[in-house]
Amino acid sequence: MSSFPNLRHEDTRRLVLSSSAILLLATGASFISPLAAVFATIMGVFVAGSLFVMHYHRDMAKYNINLAEHFQDLQFLQSQLDLRKPLPYLSGWSASPALASRLYSLIEENKPATILELGSGVSTVVMAYAIQKVGTGKLVSIDHDEEYAEKTRAELKRHRLDHLVEVIHTPLVMTTTKGGPKPWYDISVLKSTTDINLLIIDGPPRHTCQDARLPAFEQLSKRLAPGCIVVIDDSLRSDEKRSLDAWTIDCNNDRSEDIPSEKGVSVRYLN
Ligand SMILES: C[S@@+](CC[C@H](N)C(=O)[O-])C[C@H]1O[C@@H](n2cnc3c(N)ncnc32)[C@H](O)[C@@H]1O
């Protein structure tokens, strides 16, 4: 799990800040007397140490909650999917257990006829199982990276679900958006994918550009069916938060649901 409390950039910043504060305090106190400088140093180290311990405990508490939520979601998936093989790990770049279990439930409850996913992977396999279970639905998943598209196809084959999904590799091309030009999927490959009932936005990855997923709504809005459900992964990241704010202005959504998982999953129900 990425949230395990290892030393991170922010910890280094805290260490530098607290050492500088102790040094300043000790220097200031040394003008009073050498004993005051020693006392200030001891106090400074004690306060900084206590803050670090408190922060560590808070991190550990958050980590344990995340772990419990992961277990619960995985248990739910396991109970619902008729798994033929183990799923690839739901961690790191892959869909979180929270996203995977939500996608399963959305398909089971709403039986969407047309599903489009941006960014393929384990989520594609989970949705294929869901489609097989409900007995209806067409899933198209696009990926800008041929290697990952191929991995997803191979995984679908391993689970004998390849006949239920079309995984399409399509490059990122400069796309004009309100936020300026951005590399985004060439969707000319999606000729027949219209009237989308469920849209999953989990790509392109963040490293491709700032606000990499911002064009999604603008580019796909004409292809969405009335009542479409839009799922946005990583909704707690600043880029995705900005995109969600921009979409809120443009889209006519009836209600939204934010799943308080580690990276955040947001579900928008359009009118
Ligand atoms: C957030 S990932 C999509 C995850 C996918 N929905 C899943 O459940 O596994 C977005 C894109 O990152 C790329 N990607 C996936 N795993 C990667 C990895 N380990 N390293 C680099 N890129 C990766 C793929 O091209 C993918 O479409």
Does 227 map to a domain?
yes
Q: And the tokens for 80?
A: 């619902």
Instruction: State whether 158 and 56 are in the same domain.
Output: no
pTM of the model: 0.87
Determine if ligand 1 sits within 6 Å of the CB of residue 205.
Answer: yes
Instruction: State whether 244 and 115 are in the same domain.
Output: yes
Residue with CA nearest ligand 1 atom 19: 93
Write out pLDDT tens, residues 78-135.
Answer: 999 999 999 999 999 999 999 999 999 999 999 999 999 999 999 999 999 999 999 9
State the pLDDT at residue 151.
98
Instruction: State whether 59 and 94 are in the same domain.
Output: no
- Tell me the mean pLDDT per 10 residues along the chain, length 271: 58 87 93 93 92 89 89 96 95 95 98 98 98 97 98 98 98 92 96 94 96 95 95 95 88 86 92 91
Instruction: State whether 98 and 222 are in the same domain.
Output: yes
Does 82 map to a domain?
no
Alpha helices in the chain (DSSP H): 9-30, 34-80, 97-110, 122-134, 146-158, 215-220, 238-250
CATH of the domain at 213: 3.40.50.150
Separation of 168 CA from ligand 1 center, angstroms?
14
Does 98 map to a domain?
yes
User: Using the 8-state DSSP alphabet, how is residue 189 labeled?
Assistant: G
Determine if ligand 1 sits within 6 Å of the CB of residue 121.
Answer: yes
Does 240 map to a domain?
yes
Among 77, 93, 168, 202, which residue has the most ligand 1 atoms within 8 Å of its CB, making it the best to mutate? Answer: 93
Instruction: State whether 150 and 56 are in the same domain.
Output: no
State the pLDDT at residue 7.
62
Which range marks the domain in which residue 237 is found? 88-270
- Measured between alpha carbons, how far is 262 from 230 in angstroms, rounded to an integer? 19
Separation of 119 CA from ligand 1 center, angstroms?
6
State the pLDDT at residue 2.
46
Alpha helices in 81-138 (DSSP H): 97-110, 122-134
Instruction: State whether 94 and 177 are in the same domain.
Output: yes
Instruction: State whether 127 and 239 are in the same domain.
Output: yes
Does 118 map to a domain?
yes
Q: And the tokens for 89?
A: 């790990």
What CA–CA distances, in Å, run from 27 to 16, 18, 75, 234?
A: 16, 14, 57, 45
To the nearest whole number, what is the mean pLDDT of the chain? 93
Determine if ligand 1 sits within 6 Å of the CB of residue 143.
Answer: yes
Residue with CA nearest ligand 1 atom 3: 119
Residue with CA nearest ligand 1 atom 18: 93
Instruction: State whether 72 and 101 are in the same domain.
Output: no
State the pLDDT at residue 8.
67
